[in-house]
Structure 1
Amino acid sequence: MNKCHLVYLACTAAVVGAGLGAAPASAGHMTHVVHAGQSIQKAVDAAAPGDTVLIARGTYRESVTVTTPGLTLRGMGRGVVIQPAAAKTTAKTTAKTTGGATGKDAAKAADTCAAAGNGICVVGKKNRKLQDVTLVSLTVTGFTRSGVYAVDTDRLTVRKVTAVKNGVWGIAQEASARGVFRGNTARDNGDAGLFLANSITTEQGATDTGGTLVEHNRLEGNRIGVTVRRLRNLTVAENHVTGNCAGVFVVGDENKPKAGAVTVAANRIVRNNKSCPKTARLDALQGSGVVMTGTEDTLVTRNVIRDNAGKSPLSGGVVLFKSFVGTTSERNRISDNELSGNLPADLVDQETAKANTFEANSCRTSRPAGLC
């Protein structure tokens, strides 16, 4: 066993199959332990594919960028808090704490993550996705953009992460596939607690996520609990969504292929009655349970959707909302949900297309009448 040094304070052996492209698997993966006052980024930079960076309880004022496949970034619980660096921290200081002359590329990446206002960045390449990274059991808070931001990843797992009071998104991912987001808490973030998209900046057709899974998360006090934008083949299941301006958004546009083939199942979506003002992209929000716009072949089933009440054009229990760009929602199925106390109605269909199905829902009110 190799001798541990610097932040290598513990070594473990395991067989973990992980890799980026042709990266070889290792039979002796390392655990790099970081204590309060030390640099998480320095440990990440020193890690090899398949290694674990284990973070002790404490507050760490830095942004962290992960570009190593198969890496696990594991905190020792929610008492591991990652916050923005102090304003006086300079690029020179950051380079020093992320490896100095031997870690210039990593330092530059960490600076880029911080400059963009993100806490933890997991970054691959467009033609070479970063594979099998895991983030688990830590808190990210106070960043101007996202607590966790991932791009060009494959099989990213985010578990038991608490993302609180970040300026835009709690946990965000774009241009990625086969992600798992399980058991996280996203609270009081400026936009979505969980935000998943094909591309944040580019107009293009929906992409297939290969079965990305969003389950058992607690999403509260955000503008939107979960946003799924221009994606296909994704499941949002068994989440607790409350106290947001809107619960779950499934959003498409005029591009092809159309967004859809999303399953929203067995979630508890209650009292999402926070009031949020109109933005350049979206009307004012309040009292929305599940909103679908510009989507196809989406299934909304076995959810409990209660007491979502507001006067926004998007208010209601389950709302098929007429797309701002005129794209119709077609072949969506809303079935076997338990709805009550939603205003202006439990089910709201603003679509001109009549190719959507409402069946076997337990509800009292609908617009137009007759959907319950």
Structure 2
Amino acid sequence: MMRFHISHLACAAAIIGAVFGAAPPVAAADQMTHVVFPGQSIQRAVDAAEPGDTVLVTPGTYRESVTVSTPGITLSGMGRGTVIEPGTDKAATDSCAAQGNGICVIGTKDHDVEGVTVASLTVTGFAKAGVFAMATDGLTVRNVTAVKNGVWGIAQERSVRGVFRKNTARDNGDAGLFLANTIKEEAGATDTGGTVVARNRLEGNRIGITVRRLRNLTVADNHLTGNCAGVFVVGDENKPRAGALTVRDNTLVRNNKSCPKTARLDALQGSGIVLTGAEDTLVTHNRVIGNAGASPLSGGIVLFKSFVGTTSERNRITDNTLEGNAPADLVNTDTGKDNTFTHNTCRASKPAGMC
């Protein structure tokens, strides 16, 4: 780790110039860039950083977990060649590492950590999540590659105003991107304050994007392929209900991987967009092609009564383009009220008459 030590100044300046351009804007006097080289500790640099600082991690493989709890800092690699993998210290007491996560951005029960950015690096091989965030406000995760993590690629709970943009999540055990109100307890859906999930690529996961018990959120312009299911909006009997969000302009193609049943969810295969136990959600201008399977949740766009019996109500599925999905392009097995299917381009629906 280095806080611009004189002996490394020229090298650090060259690296920063390469990342931020030949003539980067002059930083404020109280903002510093901490450069980390292979063999050095990312965590030490993060611990030394103050609000407004950047921790810049040069290409190489770093075997450690990193916890960020300082507001306003940026933790950035230099692209996919900056790789964070699990450490080899079996006795690690750091809670992020002990819980099997790669990068943790963590606030407290009483105060969210604000304005943190995680960018331009790879997290791979962690038992739980590549990136895990809790109690954050305004977290940005961009250009992160999360590959072959045991549960989630990138996950967040109890947080507001997040931005997840241009990430790649591939071959993770559960969701590539997982956003929830809270994981360990029953509670009503929370308002995310306008969280945005946009222009991400999700491939080969159990579920591409899971939005669980949340409201006021946009999922837009993502590309999802090769997952067991593309986008899952999940609600239940708790109040407020999940929903009041938008799923738009996404491309979901051949999410036909087969995943077995779990304690919480039936077997999955061939699901494009699934709404279960949700209300007041707009699903519009999505391209949903070739998602086919024999699961109760299979189909292009599917409304399904939640497994605790909660129906979906007042959802609008409109102006989508669907082709080659099975058992149908549009599937509604929900008994909820006032769900509408209008102006969709499709060939087959279940029940018939929705195309």
CA contact (8 A) 2:271 2:292 kept: yes
Does structure 1 residue 222 correspond to structure 2 residue 224?
no
* 1:134 counterpart residue number: 117
**CA drift at 1:4:** 3.4
CA contact (8 A) 1:164 1:186 kept: yes
* 1:367 counterpart residue number: 350
SS at match of 1:114: helix
Partners in 2 of 1:59 and 1:7 — Cα distance?
A: 23
* 1:262 counterpart residue number: 245
**CA drift at 1:307:** 0.3
Partners in 1 of 2:116 and 2:326 — Cα distance?
A: 42
Does structure 1 residue 352 correspond to structure 2 residue 354?
no
Match among 297, 308, 328 for residue 314 of structure 1: 297
CA contact (8 A) 1:310 1:316 kept: yes
Partners in 2 of 1:158 and 1:334 — Cα distance?
A: 29
Partners in 2 of 1:327 and 1:7 — Cα distance?
A: 63
Partners in 2 of 1:113 and 1:130 — Cα distance?
A: 16
* 1:100 counterpart residue number: none
AA paired with 2:27? A
AA paired with 1:49? P
Unpaired segments of 5 or more residues in structure 1?
16-26, 92-107
Does structure 1 residue 286 correspond to structure 2 residue 286?
no
**CA drift at 1:5:** 3.8
* 1:71 counterpart residue number: 73
Q: Structure 2-normalised TM-score? A: 0.93
Unpaired segments of 5 or more residues in structure 2?
14-24
SS at match of 2:269: coil
Does structure 1 residue 14 correspond to structure 2 residue 27?
yes
SS at match of 2:245: strand
* 2:31 counterpart residue number: 29
Partners in 1 of 2:334 and 2:194 — Cα distance?
A: 28
Partners in 2 of 1:178 and 1:357 — Cα distance?
A: 29
Partners in 1 of 2:7 and 2:31 — Cα distance?
A: 15
AA paired with 2:342? E
Partners in 1 of 2:352 and 2:290 — Cα distance?
A: 19
Partners in 1 of 2:27 and 2:107 — Cα distance?
A: 24
SS at match of 1:48: coil
**CA drift at 1:353:** 2.1
Deviating runs (4+, > 6 A) in structure 1? none
SS at match of 2:153: strand
Mapping 1:1-372, distance limit 5 Å? 4-5=4-5, 14-15=27-28, 27-86=29-88, 88-91=89-92, 111-372=94-355
Partners in 1 of 2:8 and 2:139 — Cα distance?
A: 24
AA paired with 2:82? V
Render the CA deviation track for 1:54-109: whole Å, top value 9, x for unaligned. Answer: 000000000000000001001011100000001x4544xxxxxxxxxxxxxxxx6x
Partners in 1 of 2:97 and 2:224 — Cα distance?
A: 29
Partners in 2 of 1:222 and 1:113 — Cα distance?
A: 22
AA paired with 1:239? N
**CA drift at 1:125:** 1.2
RMSD: 1.7
CA contact (8 A) 2:248 2:285 kept: yes
Length, aligned pairs only? 341
CA contact (8 A) 2:4 2:35 kept: no
Render the CA deviation track for 1:297-349: whole Å, top value 9, x for unaligned. Answer: 00000000000000000000000011111111100000000001000000000
SS at match of 2:344: coil
CA contact (8 A) 1:66 1:122 kept: yes
Partners in 2 of 1:205 and 1:126 — Cα distance?
A: 17
CA contact (8 A) 1:7 1:32 kept: no
SS at match of 2:95: helix
AA paired with 1:28? D
CA contact (8 A) 1:7 1:33 kept: no
Partners in 2 of 1:330 and 1:186 — Cα distance?
A: 31
Partners in 1 of 2:169 and 2:218 — Cα distance?
A: 18
**CA drift at 1:6:** 9.8
Percent identity at matched positions?
73
* 1:97 counterpart residue number: none
Q: Structure 1-normalised TM-score? A: 0.89
CA contact (8 A) 1:13 1:28 kept: no
AA paired with 2:106? V
Partners in 2 of 1:352 and 1:361 — Cα distance?
A: 21
CA contact (8 A) 2:4 2:33 kept: no
